[in-house]
Amino acid sequence: GAVVSQHPSRVICKSGTSVKIECRSLDFQATTMFWYRQFPKQSLMLMATSNEGSKATYEQGVEKDKFLINHASLTLSTLTVTSAHPEDSSFYICSARDYRGNEKLFFGSGTQLSVL
Amino acid sequence: EDQVTQSPEALRLQEGESSSLNCSYTVSGLRGLFWYRQDPGKGPEFLFTLYSAGEEKEKERLKATLTKKESFLHITAPKPEDSATYLCAPPASSNTGKLIFGQGTTLQVKP
């Protein structure tokens, strides 16, 4: 099956610093990628939809200046958490949809962000 | 508004004890439903896609079924390695490609 690689798997940072998370589709081209956030024992909450070559679409309540998304190529999307604070600590997961319009989403392995 | 409800929230089974997980949804123009398995600290792993009412799919001890209003994930003679959180997700009515996730059912299978 299709593979989505997410890096890093875990990051610990100090409050006020920025953290970048990468999401790559390894064996297919992804015109659309999705970024989710998951708190302990809760389900996945969509943060934003990332479209190659255009601006991301953010879900209601998600600060676009806080969570910067860049989708510069058909295989790479990045999420940067700017000026991170402890309340940003969470599990972030990306998913990619292949360009042929298949609605099946393939997920990365997730990134556990801990802000001290 | 799109909504997905999964029940039960948690399920404990003895090894070999079969059961079913439920996923109820209200989504306009349903274009399929996905089932995922998620292990702690990992991203969801794809299990099944169901596209129309009456469709069934099987994989090892798992079988997924779909009606117009709900989907079931049947687990036959589960093993401890089946312990995980199972998530269902239909595509959003908005047809933007995003999935609407239920809160999941956390399954624990004891030996």
Chain A CB within 8 Å of residue B36 CB:
yes
Give B97-108 pLDDT, tens digit per residue. Answer: 788 899 999 999
Q: Which bin fits B60, alpha (ψ -120 to 50), beta or left (φ > 0)? A: left
Q: What is the percent of chain A where pLDDT is above 90?
A: 70
Q: What is residue B94's predicted lDDT score, i.e. its pLDDT?
A: 77
Mean pLDDT of chain A: 90
Range name among A5-19, A54-68, A91-105 with the lowest pLDDT average: A91-105
Helices (runs of H) and strands (runs of E) counted in chain B: 0, 10
Contact check, Cβ <8 Å, A108/B43: yes
Of all helices (H) and strands (E), which one includes residue A90?
Answer: strand A90-97
Give B63-79 pLDDT, tens digit per residue. Answer: 999 998 899 999 999 99
Is the model's pLDDT at A81 over the cut of 80? yes
Give B7-35 pLDDT, tens digit per residue. Answer: 999 999 999 999 999 999 988 877 789 99
Give A39-50 pLDDT, tens digit per residue. Answer: 988 889 999 999
Is the model's pLDDT at A98 over the cut of 80? no
Contact check, Cβ <8 Å, B99/A105: yes
Chain B interface mutation, best of A71, A103, A114, highest count of B Cβ atoms under 10 Å? A103
Q: Which residue has the higher pLDDT, B93 or A114?
A: A114
Q: Say if CB B51 and CB B6 are below 8 A apart.
A: no
Chain A CB within 8 Å of residue B2 CB:
no
